Structure 1
Amino acid sequence: MSTPSSQDQQYLEAMRLHGAELARFARGYERDDAKRQELLQELQLALWQSLDNFQGQCSLRTWAYRVAHNVGASHVQRSLRQAERQGLTLEEAESLADADADMAHTERRIDLGRVLALIHRLAPLDRELMLLYLEDLDAASIADITGLSARNVATKIHRIKALLARQLGPQESKP
């Protein structure tokens, strides 16, 4: 039985440390469960393949997100070309809530659904910035991943957060 290669070991380490983050990142790119699983597999394969060229110029986390960024961007471009705009509206998602779930859990799911629905409506680059920000990456790390300047990243995130806050603010009740 052969020992795993350095590439295999790096891949296993990357998935152990950042697999859950990458899965959440994929969720930000794809709403459909089956397509999301395909995207995640594509991302994992691309990560494994890319590790052959990884020379430690950045952290393994940053490298993994760079790969995820490239795979995610390609996925979005393919989806736009195929004109696949399927998914649930916010109202449809709210109607699917489990009847026996407690109110706090349901409200949290609705809020998360609203946030993700709004993030999905953003332009691809803005969507990616917010997904990376939600994964607790700082502006410098996001800049390394996307190729933007850290100042530009910070400004865009600030503007997007303000936009999301306005859109997620308290809903006025209609008489």
Structure 2
Amino acid sequence: MQSAKDIEKEFIAKIEKHQGILHKVCFVYAKDAADRKDLYQEMVLQLWKSYPNFRGNAAFSTWMYRVALNTAITQTKRPKLLTVNTEIPSLLDDVEATMDASEDVKILYRAISQLNKIEKAIILLWLDEKSYEEIAETIGISVKNVSVKLVRIKTKLADLIQKLQ
């Protein structure tokens, strides 16, 4: 049986290893730096609360995505806590500040910020090279539905990217 201290150390190590997931979700779902910080903290809190229920049936990163995305979607439903990111310049400023992104990546982030909540979740998972099965499990839809939605999302993103270029 692990001690509480060992469990805490294990949790922190896993969060640090996969923190990029949380940052991606924050970039796409929160409108400014303060909201991203709040959302990040809320996601870590929800992950900690849920950690005792993590059974390892899926990869930790898949489970982490599920909790992070559900937290982000829930937070965007609450008035005045977070709003879906529609302020493209703010998102772009943070992307430039935190990563040495090519112009194509910046445009992609701009386009993704204009998708709806579920579309954002699906495309983030797909861009992280998750399988259709992992995406379906994380989002809570069928594999076939993932396939259909991804085709539509890619078309929508292509249109948005063309407008942004």
TM-score class normalised by the smaller sequence: 0.7 to 0.9
Q: Which residue does the alignment assign to 2:65? A: 65
Correspondence 1:139 to 2:132: yes
Q: CA deviation at 1:71?
A: 0.5
Q: Map of 1:19-98 to 2, 5 A cutoff?
A: 19-78=19-78, 81-82=79-80, 84=83, 88-89=87-88
For the residue of structure 2 that corresponds to 1:127, the secondary structure is helix
**AA matched with 2:113:** H
Larger radius of gyration: 1
Structure 1: 5+ residue stretches without partners: 99-104
**AA matched with 1:24:** K
Q: What percentage of residue pairs aligned between the two structures are identical?
A: 27
Q: CA deviation at 1:171?
A: 7.7
**AA matched with 1:127:** K
Deviations 1:90-122 (A, max 9, x none): 5x8889xx9xxxxxx78x24x334322322222
For the residue of structure 1 that corresponds to 2:47, the secondary structure is helix
The aligned length equals: 157
Q: Which residue does the alignment assign to 1:101? A: none
**AA matched with 2:67:** V
Q: CA deviation at 1:26?
A: 1.7
Correspondence 1:164 to 2:157: yes
Structure 1 residues 171 and 36: CA distance shift in structure 2, 3 A: closer
TM (normalized to structure 2)?
A: 0.78
Deviations 1:151-174 (A, max 9, x none): 1112211221122123323889xx
Q: Which residue does the alignment assign to 2:144? A: 151
- Which aligned segments of 4 or more residues in structure 1 are displaced greater than 4 angstroms? 83-87, 92-95
Structure 1 residues 86 and 149: CA distance shift in structure 2, 3 A: closer
Q: Which residue does the alignment assign to 1:4? A: 5
For the residue of structure 2 that corresponds to 1:13, the secondary structure is helix
Deviations 1:61-114 (A, max 9, x none): 111111112111112112xx3395775345x8889xx9xxxxxx78x24x3343
Structure 2: 5+ residue stretches without partners: none
**AA matched with 1:132:** L
